[in-house]
Structure 1
Amino acid sequence: MTERFQHYAAIDWSGAVGERHKGIAVAICATGDAAPELVRPGHRWSRPEVLQWLTEDLPADTLVGMDLGISLAFADRSSFFPGWTDSPADARTLWALIDRTCADDPHLSVSSFVDHAEIARHFRRHGGREGDLFGGGRGRFRVAETAQQAMGCKPYSNFNLVGAAQVGKSSLSGMRLLHRLAGRLPVWPIHPLPERGSVLVEIYTTIAAMAAGRRPERSKIRTVEELNRALAALGSRRVAYEGAIDDHKSDALITAAWLRRDAHRAELWNPRGLTSEIARTEGWTFGAE
């Protein structure tokens, strides 16, 4: 695959309660080898501000990676919410359901969705509240998450909303954003990859860190010295910062550089486990092979 994009952006996302979040970081780089840069360094982003940046300020022909799950498990049970007659038929309908259910929830939060009487039965929530249809164990996984696991990663089920490493709330809040991007920014592979223009993909920052030579269990980087070693491994110049850096910013910077290096690889756009049905319902994680 020839070079398709002119810019590469990575967004470390957050589903935490509140308006502004230290867990959100946005980084971008252009073609070439210049070091990726943080967008609005020092700014504490809100989720709606990220949506605004994507729709109003995104440079042309940008590949955007967002660190979240773009859908829920479907293939294992042929349904997102088995036994519920109103369960959505595909990912885009799921996004619309989440956004509609949470219309009164501020800051793209999702409390109304996970508290819904039927939907809550499928989630593990705080306070020992495990829905009777959660399924036990680590919860249900998408096909892409099984592929992540085969690579040595440790994915978490998007139906699990408990624990510091859970990604369920960030994924659900991200789906509200994805719904609001409709018609403005395609989301691969739920939308086909267009011949030109910007595209958003799901990323898992551990995959980018592994590509930079980090072990999965040591993927988080908190010093600029370590960050620059990882960037060098990805063919990028060094950043000019010094000292400590939080792992949200370093995740975004490394992933932007990784997207720039590897986005041309045709096999990453055609992973073995990705079928048309999986694309329509569960989506995929870019870089999961």
Structure 2
Amino acid sequence: MRNFTHFACIDWSGARTERPKGIAVAVIGPEGPPALIIPDPHWSRTDVLDWLLRIAETQQDMLIGFDLSMALPFFDQGGYFPEWDESPRDAKALWRHIDKIARDDHHLNVTSFLEHPQAHRHFRHGRGRIGDLFTGGTGRLRQVEHYQRETGQANSASCFNLVGAAQVGKSSLTGMRLLHRLDGAIPVWPFDLVPDHGPAIVEIYTTVAALAAGQPKGRSKVRDRAGLKQALTRLNTPIPARLARYDDHSTDALITAAWMKREAGNPALWNPSALTDEIAQKEGWTFGVV
């Protein structure tokens, strides 16, 4: 497995505002503690896209983790959107499809996509609106999400559920728009091969990193300096200078960047036994789930 010199974690957000407070970016290099990159006033999704394009231009050896799902479930029903003739056949076509329908939505939002009469049918929306093809319960899951639950490694939510504090659907769909806009400037594993040099992007789940850092299941969030110090100490990483605010977006990003640095050289994480070529192209995989 190749070596990376720098590691970044992007805690993402699907909020409709231009500059969601939920976006946090942390980077760690060969030496020292992880550090937050803090723009003024807050990150926008297009800011993150521009930052990634600059990383691509400089070809920095950086592994970049995004806390979102990079595709929707496919294998459970033989397609992303059953009964929709235009349902894409693989993840990159899915990214393109979402971005095309939502192309007039500002800030990489996905309102137009979710209001599309065919897409709308598959999601659980707010205010009691439930699409007639939403499966109920937890909603549909990808193969990696079923595997996480079966092996006790994580408890991911369905991207088709757009309701509640734990919903990840909107953040994942906006992230898919960003991945399409990158247009291959940075390879995205496992859809693309890991390059011999330069940056690469992976899907991460910050809870996996938090558990590796000693956080208890069900209480993985860190919201103070003492908790951050304890987690980073477990990862053999120095603690950064005092933060202005210890929100869980910032601490998730810092802890996960440190975890990525520690674990990225582990070949098992790049070769999960349950990951097939077809799963890789249609649903992707969460880095760190083995």
Question: 1:119 — aligned with what?
Answer: 119
Cα distance in 2 for partners of 1:161, 1:183 equals 28
Extract unaligned runs of 5+ from structure 1: none
Alignment check: 8 A CA contact 2:139 2:160 kept: yes
Cα distance in 2 for partners of 1:191, 1:184 equals 11
Q: Which residue identity is paired with 2:260? A: L
Cα distance in 2 for partners of 1:195, 1:278 equals 23
For residues 253-272 of structure 1, the C-alpha deviation after alignment (integer angstroms, 9 at most, x for no partner) is 00000000000000000111
Correspondence for 2:35 among 34, 37, 48: 37
Q: Which residue identity is paired with 1:20? A: R
Question: 1:98 — aligned with what?
Answer: 98
Question: 2:84 — aligned with what?
Answer: 84
- The 3-state SS of whatever aligns with 2:218 is helix
| Structure 2 counterparts to residues 132-211 of structure 1, below 5 A | 132-149=132-149, 150-211=151-212
Larger relative strand fraction: 1
Alignment check: 8 A CA contact 1:160 1:166 kept: yes
Give the CA deviation at 1:244.
5.0
Alignment check: 8 A CA contact 2:269 2:288 kept: yes
Question: 2:47 — aligned with what?
Answer: 49
Question: 2:251 — aligned with what?
Answer: 250
Q: 87-96 or 184-193, which moves further after superposition?
A: 184-193
Question: 1:237 — aligned with what?
Answer: 238
* Percent identity over paired residues: 52
The 1:152/1:276 distance shift into structure 2, 3 A limit, reads closer
Give the CA deviation at 1:152.
4.3
Alignment check: 8 A CA contact 2:61 2:198 kept: yes
What is the TM-score with the length of structure 1 in the denominator? 0.96
Are residue 28 (structure 1) and residue 27 (structure 2) matched? Answer: yes
Aligned residues: 287
Q: Which residue identity is paired with 1:10? A: C
Q: Which residue identity is paired with 2:208? A: I
Moved over 6 A (4+): none
Question: 1:16 — aligned with what?
Answer: 15
Are residue 108 (structure 1) and residue 108 (structure 2) matched? Answer: yes
Question: 1:223 — aligned with what?
Answer: 224
What is the TM-score with the length of structure 2 in the denominator? 0.96
Cα distance in 2 for partners of 1:26, 1:158 equals 22
